[in-house]
Structure 1
Amino acid sequence: MADLAKANQALARVSERLAARPDLAAFLHYVAQEAIAQLGAEAAILSVFEESRHVLQAVACGQEYRN
């Protein structure tokens, strides 16, 4: 149940961010950062499949910042 609450909070933050700043590139970067935080990952890459060329195109990436 705690995982579901954490995921719902993350979705709420992402939705609020998109509403406040509808710039696609900045939003996708934010989504990558949120995914890193939620998964405990070191990095994330968001890709879109370009069907006409049959390739994945990276559209955003993020990295966990450690001191």
Structure 2
Amino acid sequence: MRQGKHDSIQTRQALIIMTSMSGAPAPAIARLVAAHEDTVRDVIHAFNERGLAVLDPRWWGLSPLDQ
């Protein structure tokens, strides 16, 4: 079974959320996941507003057909 590209996006977002909850600052998380600090902050802010729903690709406007 082939994994969709959204699986890796969800994994990265979950890692950002978990690392943030452990108290790591955004710059350190960005280095860990090889992302821009603004991306890390966007994911954290979205999680704070919407909870785990941010891990749903459709929430970010991605179609399940893109997988």
TM-score (norm. length: structure 1): 0.37
Which structure is higher in RCO with an 8 Å CA cutoff and minimum separation 6?
2
Structure (1 or 2) with the larger CA radius of gyration: 1
